[in-house]
C-alpha cells in the first residue's frame, strides 16, 4: 500500500513537472486550405514529440503588409502576438534586432541547406532564421495550347507577347470570351517589385541598385522593360491584373483561362492536382529574356522560419524550428503546399523526384537567380521596394511612361538613401 501511494505521488509530481514545463506557442499559419493542412501536420508532430502545445495565428498574405504588422508588434515588444513566423528573404536586415539569435541552436544544420539560402539568414555573423523554402520566378505555359497553335515555348518577351496574342485570339474565336494570353502579379506590392526586377534585369537594365550601393535604375533599358510590360495591359493581360497577387494569377491560369503565367514554383504542384482543369498540360520555362541580346533573370525569393526575440518560450520555439525544417516536414510542405524545399537532401528523395522531376531544373535557377537589393539598401529596403513597385504600377496603369518613371524613381531612391544606405 505504501509503495502504491509513493508511486502515485511520484506520478503526480512528474505530471505536475511536465505541465509546468509545457508551453503554448503561437505560430504563423497560412489561411489557404493547403496551408492549414500543413500546419495541422506540424501541430500533430510538435505536440507528439514535445510536451508543448501549438496554436496558429493568421497574418496578411501580402508581404509588405505583413512586414508592417510585424514592425508594429516588435516596436511594442509584444511577447503574446507570435512566437514563430515566416520572414521574407529581404526582411532579415530590417528585423535583425527583433529576431532571436539561433546560432548555437541550429548551426549543426548548415550543411543540409542550399548555401546561398543559409547565408541569406546570417546577419552580422549570427543565424537569425532557417530557410523554410526557396523561390525563384518562373514562366508557366499551356503545353496543349502551344501544340494546338504550332508554337514553341518563347525565349524572349517579344516571342511571348506574339504567341500569347495568337492563342488568345484563337481561343476567343472558339468561344472562350474570357481567355487571356498572360497573367502575372500586377498589384502595387512586393510581388510587383519581383516582377519588375525580372523585366528590367532581363533587358540588362540592372537591379535598381548595384552591389556597391549605387542607384542605377535610370537607364534606357529599364525604361524599355517597363514600357514593354505596360503594352500587355488590356491586350494580352486583363486590366484586372493590376490587382493580382500570386493566387489571383494562379486561379485564372489553373482554371484554364490563360496561356502563360508568371509565378513561383509552388504553382506547379497545384496546377497538376487531380482536380485542376489544366492537369497534365502545364510546362515550365525560364522567365523570358529581354530581346535576343537580353538575359534570363528570375527573382530570388523564399521564406525563412524565425523566432521573435520577445518570445517567452525560446527553447520550445527552437524545438519547433527544428521540426519545421527537418527533411520530413519539408517533404510534407512540398507535397501539400507545393513550395520548393530549401534542404538539399529532400531533392534526393525518391518520392519527391517521382512527383516533381522539374525540381531538378529549379536547383540551377536557385543558384543563379537575381536577388533584390536588400543587402545593399539595408534597413531602407522596404522603402526602396515600395518606390519600385509604385513606379512600375504607374507605368502599367498608364499614369507614367517608362522613361519618366525611372527618372522619378532615381530621384526617390536618392532621397531615401541620403548620404548612405543605413
How is 366-407 classified by DSSP, letter by letter? HHHPBPPTHHHHGGGHHHHHHHHHHHHHHHHTTSS-HHHHHH
Torsion of CA 366, 372, 375, 376, to 10 degrees: 140
- Write down the H helix ranges in 76-181: 92-95, 103-106, 115-120, 143-148, 157-173
Count Cβ atoms below 10 Å from residue 287 Cβ, excluding itself.
25
Can you tell me which residue has the cell 530590417?
Answer: 94
- Whether 83 and 307 have beta carbons less than 8 Å apart is answered as yes
Could you tell me which residue, 301 or 45, shows the higher pLDDT?
45
Query: Taking the alpha carbons of 111, 113, 117, 121 in that order, is the dihedral positive or negative?
Result: negative
More confident: 150 or 344: 150
DSSP state of 102: -
More confident residue, 309 or 11: 309
Q: What pLDDT score does 367 carry?
A: 64
Q: Which tens digits make up the pLDDT trace of 187-229?
A: 999 999 999 999 999 999 999 999 889 999 999 999 999 999 9
Phi-psi region of 398 (alpha: psi -120 to 50; beta: other; left: phi over 0): left
Q: Which of 356, 251, 342 is nearest to 300 (CA)?
A: 342
Give yes or no for residue 316 having a pLDDT over 50. Answer: yes
pLDDT tens digits, 57-102: 999 988 889 999 999 999 999 999 999 999 998 898 889 899 999 9
Q: Considering only CA atoms, which of 73, 122, 114 is closest in space to residue 96?
A: 122
Q: Which of 104, 39, 86, 95 is nearest to 314 (CA)?
A: 104
Query: How many whole angstroms separate alpha carbon 133 and alpha carbon 304?
Result: 7
**Residue 103: Cβ within 10 Å count:** 12
With a cut of 80, say whether residue 20 has pLDDT above it. Answer: no
Q: Three-state SS string across 224-239, please? A: HHHHHHHCCECCCECH
Q: Is the predicted pLDDT of residue 12 greater than 80, yes or no?
A: no
pLDDT digits 0-9 by tens, 157-175: 999 999 999 999 999 999 9
Where is pLDDT greater, at 247 or 31?
247
Q: Determine the pLDDT at residue 100.
A: 98
Crossing angle of the two packed helices 402-417 and 381-396, in degrees rounded to 10: 170
Across the chain, what does the average pLDDT equal?
Answer: 92
Give 312's Cβ-side CA count (13 Å radius). 10
- Give, in degrees to the nearest 5, the angle at Cα 300 between 296 and 305: 165
CB 320: neighbour CB atoms within 10 A? 26
> Which residues, 6+ apart, have CB-to-CB distance to 104 below 8 Å?
none
Of 113-122, 223-232, 294-303, give the range with the top mean pLDDT: 223-232
Question: Do the Cβ atoms of 406 and 217 come closer than 8 Å?
Answer: yes
Q: Give residue 266's pLDDT.
A: 86
Confidence of residue 368 (pLDDT cuts 50, 70, 90): low
The residues that bridge with 87 in the sheet, in sequence order, are 304
| Spatial distance between the Cα atoms of 268 and 358, rounded to a whole number of angstroms | 9
What's the CA gap between 372 and 354, in Å, rounded? 32
Q: What is the pLDDT of residues 90-104, one digit of tens each?
A: 898 889 899 999 999
* Structural domains for the chain: 21-128+300-368 (3.40.190.10), 136-298+372-417 (3.40.190.10)
Q: How far is CA 191 from the centre of its chain?
A: 9
pLDDT computed for residue 364 by the predictor: 67
Least confident of 148-162, 250-264, 339-353: 339-353
- DSSP state for residue 342 in the 8-state scheme: S
| 35-60 burial code (b ≥16 CB/10 A, e <16) | beebbebbbebbeeebebebebeebe
Does pLDDT of 361 surpass 80? no
Full DSSP string of 236-256:
TB-GGGGG--HHHHHHHHHTT
Sign of CA dihedral 113, 382, 211, 293: positive
Say whether 127 sits in a helix, a strand or coil.
strand
Q: Whole-angstrom Cα distance, residue 235 to residue 165?
A: 8
Distances (CA, A) of 1 to 4, 8, 11, 12, 324: 5, 10, 15, 16, 46
pLDDT at residue 359, as a whole number:
82
What's the average model confidence in pLDDT over 10-27?
63
Helix (H), strand (E), coil (C) string for 312-324: CCHHHHHHHHHHH
What's the pLDDT band for 329 if we cut at 50, 70, 90?
very high
Report the C-alpha gap between 332 and 338 in whole angstroms: 9
C-alpha cell at 130: 532557417
Amino acid at each position: 500500500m505504501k509503495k502504491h501511494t509513493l508511486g502515485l505521488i511520484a506520478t503526480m509530481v512528474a505530471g505536475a513537472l511536465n505541465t509546468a514545463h509545457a508551453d503554448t506557442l503561437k505560430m504563423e499559419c497560412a489561411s489557404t486550405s493547403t496551408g492549414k493542412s500543413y500546419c495541422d501536420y506540424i501541430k500533430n508532430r510538435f505536440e507528439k514529440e514535445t510536451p508543448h502545445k501549438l496554436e496558429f495565428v493568421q497574418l496578411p498574405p501580402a508581404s509588405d503588409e505583413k512586414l508592417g504588422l510585424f514592425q508594429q508588434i516588435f516596436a511594442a515588444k509584444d511577447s503574446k502576438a507570435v512566437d514563430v513566423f515566416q520572414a521574407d528573404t529581404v526582411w532579415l536586415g530590417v528585423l535583425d534586432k527583433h529576431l532571436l539569435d539561433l546560432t548555437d541552436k541550429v548551426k549543426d544544420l548548415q550543411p543540409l541547406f542550399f548555401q546561398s539560402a543559409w547565408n541569406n539568414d546570417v546577419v552580422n555573423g549570427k543565424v537569425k532564421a532557417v530557410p523554410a523554402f526557396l523561390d525563384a520566378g518562373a514562366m508557366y505555359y499551356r503545353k496543349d495550347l502551344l501544340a494546338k497553335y504550332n508554337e514553341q515555348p518563347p525565349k524572349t518577351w517579344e516571342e511571348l507577347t506574339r504567341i500569347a496574342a495568337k492563342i488568345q485570339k484563337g481561343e476567343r474565336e472558339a468561344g472562350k470570351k474570357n481567355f487571356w494570353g498572360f497573367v502575372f502579379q500586377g498589384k502595387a506590392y512586393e510581388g510587383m517589385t519581383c516582377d519588375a526586377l525580372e523585366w528590367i534585369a532581363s533587358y540588362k537594365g540592372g537591379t535598381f541598385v548595384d552591389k556597391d550601393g549605387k542607384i542605377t535604375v535610370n537607364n534606357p533599358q529599364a525604361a524599355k522593360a517597363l514600357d514593354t510590360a505596360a503594352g500587355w495591359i488590356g491586350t494580352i493581360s486583363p486590366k484586372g491584373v493590376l490587382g493580382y497577387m500570386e493566387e489571383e494569377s494562379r486561379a485564372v491560369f489553373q482554371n484554364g483561362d490563360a496561356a502563360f503565367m508568371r509565378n513561383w514554383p509552388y504553382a506547379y504542384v497545384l496546377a497538376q492536382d487531380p482536380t485542376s482543369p489544366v492537369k497534365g498540360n502545364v510546362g515550365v520555362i525560364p522567365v523570358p529574356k529581354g530581346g535576343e541580346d537580353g538575359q534570363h533573370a528570375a527573382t530570388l525569393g523564399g521564406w525563412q522560419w524565425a523566432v521573435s526575440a520577445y518570445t517567452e518560450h525560446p527553447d520550445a520555439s527552437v524545438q519547433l524550428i527544428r521540426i519545421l525544417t527537418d527533411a520530413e516536414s519539408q517533404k510534407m510542405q512540398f507535397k501539400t503546399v507545393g513550395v520548393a524545399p530549401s534542404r538539399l537532401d529532400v531533392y534526393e528523395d525518391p518520392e519527391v523526384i517521382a512527383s516533381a522531376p522539374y525540381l531538378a531544373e529549379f536547383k540551377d535557377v536557385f543558384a543563379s537567380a537575381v536577388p533584390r537589393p536588400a543587402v545593399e539598401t539595408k534597413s531602407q529596403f522596404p522603402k526602396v521596394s515600395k518606390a519600385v513597385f509604385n513606379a512600375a504600377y504607374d507605368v502599367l496603369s498608364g499614369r507614367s511612361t517608362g522613361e519618366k518613371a525611372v527618372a522619378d524613381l532615381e530621384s526617390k531612391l536618392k532621397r531615401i538613401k541620403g548620404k548612405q544606405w543605413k
